[in-house]
Structure 1
Amino acid sequence: SVEVQVRSSEALAVVGPNGAGKSTLALMLAGLLRPTNGEVLSGEALAAGRGHEPIWRWRARDLAGRIGMVFQEPEHQFVTARVRDELALGPKVLGLPDLEIRRRVTELLERLRLTHLASANPFTLSGGEKRRLSVATALAAAPSVLILDEPTFGQDARTWGELLSLFAALRDAGRAICFATHDRDFARALSDRTLHLHLQQGEPVPR
């Protein structure tokens, strides 16, 4: 069993061997997977009208503005044919005005060095570009909590450093960040707390 809190203005690293449940925990914390035992609940400030309802019961619109998820494989969260449209999707789900959507898209394109790729198909980007886009799509809805699954997997030194700086700035601005990782250097550089998951028995589950 696991008991953990994800707090604002903190970065929590989740580490452990393959099969220990890091990705599963990340999905549950993001409200995308129902726990088989126990519950994942939010504080009153994050719930903001949802009461004590478990987050896996929240609607997509409720999740989008509260909790953002960055998957280990960026392609798993791409659903449109243009980078610009990908960034606009979250704000549209929230029902934001077109002017605000355009402002957020432009800001994120610039911040993540994607402006020159605004009309490109997300699936044609390089590995570093896909990772930056996956982070940008999670940020587009301005969530209070950011859940990351292996955010530095397969990234070069430049992207690694950019992600570290970005996530540290978000944490310092009050966001709650939880990231599952095998990257001990990244965990040491970013995390305020670390949760160690262990295999209870048997062999790691194949990925």
Structure 2
Amino acid sequence: MMIECYDISFSYAENIFALKNIDLSIDKREFVGILGENGAGKTTLAKCINGLLKPQFGKILIDGEDTNNFSVAQLAKKIGFVFQNSDHQIFAQSVEDEIKFGLRNLNYAKEEIEERVEIVLKDLDLEQYRETTPFDLSGGERKRVALASILCLDPKILILDEPTIGQDSRQKKFLIKLIDELRDQDKTIIVITHDIEFASEYIPRIIIMSKGQILADGPNNVITKNEFILNSSNLILPQLSELSKILSSNEKFKDFKSEKGNAKEYYEELKKFLK
């Protein structure tokens, strides 16, 4: 599904805009990261896209259809949103009931509910926690439960708000593997994050927001190396970009260039350069 935002603005209070004149287009199957400091407007933009908030100005189209023509429940079938704090999204007494809730609420047949639940329990490695109370799980496991409760609805667009908070490197790799599988199913993925290292390593397209506006939008290897843009939004250079900057000041490495955000791939390019 394609997302198109045309000149949207949103205000929580009169004349204090959280979003100002946002123009944005995200294609089907894209994997996009939205970065920026606290209060930049990242989550507000995401909530406007999925219908939890209605912009006062401009319009948002999903596959050419104005989101104002849909209820929040109708948009929930198209756009899944996983909150930064999974505890705000979880309330059932068991993992299985948590995942079933949305399907029951949308009146899916019992057989289809059972089938979908089995699939997401397996895909997110939650089968062993089926009868467990979600609040007895770790923070990372609760994030997976919240994600499972959204994925079982089979949305074509998935928005993840700070999905790497509290996640170790193994869990981050699991998340990327899952995102790759979802994109293979033609899903569009939007990640809101402060994790510049995660973004620079994995996310192909980066959008930087500041003070309710889009400051920059472009390929990962361009945006994450632009120190001026990152500093303007109170973000720091990723470690590999910082390393490239240091190396470029050394006569021996002045001709070395790498666009890799992955440490292993960067190292391999550096080895080739030194041969």
TM-score range, shorter chain: 0.7 to 0.9
Asked whether the equivalents of residues 67 and 145 of structure 1 are also in contact (C-alpha less than 8 Å), the reply is: yes
Deviation at 1:108, TM superposition (A): 1.1
State TM-score, norm by structure 1. 0.86
Provide the C-alpha distance between the structure 1 equivalents of 2:184 and 2:84, rounded to a whole number of angstroms: 24
Give, in angstroms, the shift of residue 53 of structure 1. Answer: 4.5
- CA–CA distance in structure 1, aligned partners of residues 26 and 98 of structure 2: 27
Aligned-residue RMSD, C-alpha: 2.0
CA contact (8 A) 1:6 1:177 kept: no
Aligned to 1:194, which of 190, 196, 206?
206
Deviates more, 1:187-196 or 1:78-87: 187-196
Q: Which residue number in structure 2 is paired with residue 103 of structure 1?
A: 115
The answer on whether the counterparts of 2:30 and 2:189 sit within 8 Å (CA) in structure 1 is yes
Q: Paired residue for 1:177, among 165, 185, 189?
A: 189
How far apart are residue 131 of structure 1 and its match? 1.1
The 2-side partners of 1:36 and 1:123 are apart by 37
Q: 2: distance between equivalents of 1:199 and 1:52?
A: 26
Q: Which runs of 5+ in 2 are unaligned?
A: 1-20, 214-232, 234-275
For residues 2-61 of structure 1, the C-alpha deviation after alignment (integer angstroms, 9 at most, x for no partner) is: 2112321111110111111111111111211122332222114xxxxxx53526x5141x
Q: Is the 8 A contact 1:65 1:94 kept in 2?
A: no
Higher RCO, 1 vs 2 (CA within 8 Å, ≥6 residues apart): 1
Query: d(CA) in 2 for partners of 1:94 and 1:142?
Result: 12
For 2:58, the aligned partner's letter is: G
State TM-score, norm by structure 2. 0.66
Among candidates 25, 50, 58, match of residue 71 of structure 2: 58
Does 15-24 or 184-193 show the bigger shift?
A: 184-193
Q: 8 Å contact 2:33–2:207 — kept in the other structure?
A: yes
Aligned residues: 194
Structure (1/2) with the larger strand percentage: 2
Give the match for residue 72 of structure 1. 84
For structure 1, the 5+ residue unaligned runs are: 45-50
2 CA distance for matches of 1:9 and 1:191? 13
Q: Deviations over 1:126-175 (max 9, x none)?
A: 01101111111110100001011111111112211111110122123210
User: What per-residue deviation string (whole Å, max 9, x for no partner) do you get for residues 47-100 of structure 1?
Assistant: xxxx53526x5141x123211001000011113221101111222233221111
Change in 2 beyond 3 A, CA 1:127/1:198? same
Q: Which amino acid aligns with 2:66?
A: H
Query: Where do 4+ consecutive residues of structure 1 move more than 3 Å?
Result: none
